[in-house]
């Protein structure tokens, strides 16, 4: 399937299941270096808050569900800490398959490049259009690149106007897992970002 860009994308599907079923026929998405497993977004249509990560990791690839590994646990914990049940949100990724290289038997995560992000951008656009969240949270740089042009450095933690909705940029939770020093401080700031997004989406938190 040809690449499509966010602003010029046609409206292609009327439901999420229809959108996700279409991937089975889409061999063009099985680029070298990617898993065959497509991990769709999860949550309810109409969820007020949409959280967008980078791509499925090893655990997500094995289970077919987004954010179920260590980064997902950290996301769940921080949402719960501000009084948001993840089940009331919609969770997805900018890229829908795990990109990795093999080292022996280990599958090592590879960061998606601009072409990978562009190839999957229309999925994200369709998810946003069909779910209709009030606030979209970009978790880290890949999600931000997928959503166009917002800078984590300059715009982090603010509710920005974006495509008729609000967008908040914050870190990816896996960044916290890599921190040795000052993780508590960084996690508190991440939680505060989530709280601002949740309030903007209408949660009483």
Query: Which residues contact ligand URA (rule: CB under 6 A)?
Result: 53-57, 60, 66-67, 69, 71-72, 93, 174
Residue 143: CB minimum distance to ligand URA, A: 8
Q: Which residue has the tokens 């996700």?
A: 20
Residue 8: CB minimum distance to ligand URA, A: 26
Nearest to 124 by CA among 24, 4, 27: 4
What is the rounded CA–CA span in Å between residue 67 and residue 55? 9
Residue 37: CB minimum distance to ligand URA, A: 12
Contact 159, 200 (CB under 8 A): yes
Helix (H) or strand (E) holding 192: helix 183-200
Residue 10: CB minimum distance to ligand URA, A: 27
Residue 47: CB minimum distance to ligand URA, A: 16
Which CB atom, from 67 or from 162, has the smaller least distance to ligand URA? 67
Helix (H) or strand (E) holding 160: strand 160-162
Q: Inter-axis angle of helices 70-81 and 183-200, to 10 degrees?
A: 60
Which CB atom, from 43 or from 57, has the smaller least distance to ligand URA? 57
Residue 186: CB minimum distance to ligand URA, A: 17
Burial of 5 (0-12, 13-18, 19+ CB in 10 A): exposed
Q: Which residue is nearest to ligand URA, using beta carbons?
A: 53
Which CB atom, from 89 or from 93, has the smaller least distance to ligand URA? 93
Q: Which residue has the tokens 């079923």?
A: 21
Which CB atom, from 65 or from 191, has the smaller least distance to ligand URA? 65
Which CB atom, from 8 or from 106, has the smaller least distance to ligand URA? 106
- Map residue 70 onto helix, strand or coil: helix
Helix (H) or strand (E) holding 53: strand 49-53
Which CB atom, from 54 or from 76, has the smaller least distance to ligand URA? 54
The radius of gyration computed from the CA coordinates of the chain, to the nearest angstrom, equals 16
């Amino acid at each position: 399937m040809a690449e499509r860009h966010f602003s010029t994308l046609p409206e292609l599907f009327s439901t999420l299941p229809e959108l996700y079923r279409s991937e089975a026929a889409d061999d063009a998405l099985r680029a070298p270096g990617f898993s065959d497993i497509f991990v769709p977004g999860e949550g309810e249509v109409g969820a007020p808050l949409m959280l967008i990560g980078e791509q499925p990791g090893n655990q997500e690839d094995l289970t077919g569900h987004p954010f179920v590994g260590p980064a997902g646990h950290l996301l769940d914990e921080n949402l719960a800490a501000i009084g948001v049940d993840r089940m009331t949100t919609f969770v997805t990724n900018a890229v829908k398959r795990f990109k990795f290289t093999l080292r022996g038997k280990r599958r090592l995560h590879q960061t998606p490049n601009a072409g990978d992000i562009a190839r999957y951008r229309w999925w994200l656009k369709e998810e946003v259009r069909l779910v209709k969240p009030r606030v979209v949270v970009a978790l880290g740089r890949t999600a931000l690149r997928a959503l166009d042009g917002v800078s984590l450095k300059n715009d982090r933690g603010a509710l920005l106007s974006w495509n008729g909705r609000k967008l908040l940029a914050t870190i990816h939770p896996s960044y916290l897992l890599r921190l040795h020093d000052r993780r508590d401080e960084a996690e508190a700031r991440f939680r505060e970002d989530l709280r601002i997004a949740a309030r903007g989406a209408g949660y009483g938190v």
